[in-house]
């Protein structure tokens, strides 16, 4: 997590968790999500770990909106990849629209819609970070 924290605000912040089959990708991804996801409070999971001894662990814990994607949920064995990608886009927009109900988006333009949701979520994350610095959350 300390490596992730050191690159989270850089152009290298995009991370792919890739390992051979049956070697803990889901567990690793779940841990990353638990640490960064602002919709949950996971301090108790990490406070007694080495991570808690680092300078910036409190800055990043539960500070971000997290989209967790399990590709096998969308592209099934023998399934059509194009259909899987359509399902993936639909589900992401559906989930974001539930979280940000006031955002007007275009279900036929995924990039435009993601930009709209990103703008609103970035503002919400900024407010969250300001409140955290003031000790309110």
pLDDT in tens, 71-86: 777 777 567 888 888 8
130 pLDDT band, cuts 50/70/90, is: very low
With a CB cutoff of 8 Å and minimum separation 6, the contacts of 77 are none
- Using the structure block, give the residue that is written with the tokens 């290298």: 12
The Cα–Cα gap between 119 and 21 comes to 36
Q: Is the pTM of this model over 0.75?
A: no
Q: State the CB neighbour count (10 A cutoff) for residue 60.
A: 19
State the pLDDT at residue 132: 47
129 pLDDT band, cuts 50/70/90, is: very low
CA-angle at 92, arms to 63 and 116, nearest 5°:
70
State the pLDDT at residue 4: 87
28 neighbors 4 (Cβ within 8 angstroms): no
pLDDT in tens, 29-51: 888 899 999 888 999 999 999 99
Q: DSSP label at 8?
A: T
128 pLDDT band, cuts 50/70/90, is: very low
Per-residue DSSP letters for 33-85?
A: HHHHBTTS--HHHHTTSGGGGSTTHHHHTT-B------GGGTS-TT--HHHHH
pLDDT above 70 coverage of the chain, percent: 88
């Amino acid at each position: 997590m300390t490596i992730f924290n050191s690159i989270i605000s850089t152009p290298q912040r995009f991370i792919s968790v890739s390992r051979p089959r049956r070697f803990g990708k889901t567990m690793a991804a779940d841990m990353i999500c638990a640490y960064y996801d602002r919709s949950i409070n996971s301090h108790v999971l990490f406070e007694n770990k080495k991570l808690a001894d680092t300078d910036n662990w409190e800055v990043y814990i539960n500070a971000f909106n997290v989209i967790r994607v399990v590709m096998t949920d969308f592209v099934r064995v023998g399934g059509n990849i194009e259909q899987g990608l359509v399902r993936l886009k639909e589900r992401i927009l559906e989930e974001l629209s539930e979280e940000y109900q006031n955002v007007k988006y275009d279900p036929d333009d995924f990039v435009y819609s993601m930009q709209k949701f990103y703008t609103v979520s970035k503002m919400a994350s900024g407010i969250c970070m300001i409140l955290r610095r003031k000790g309110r959350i």
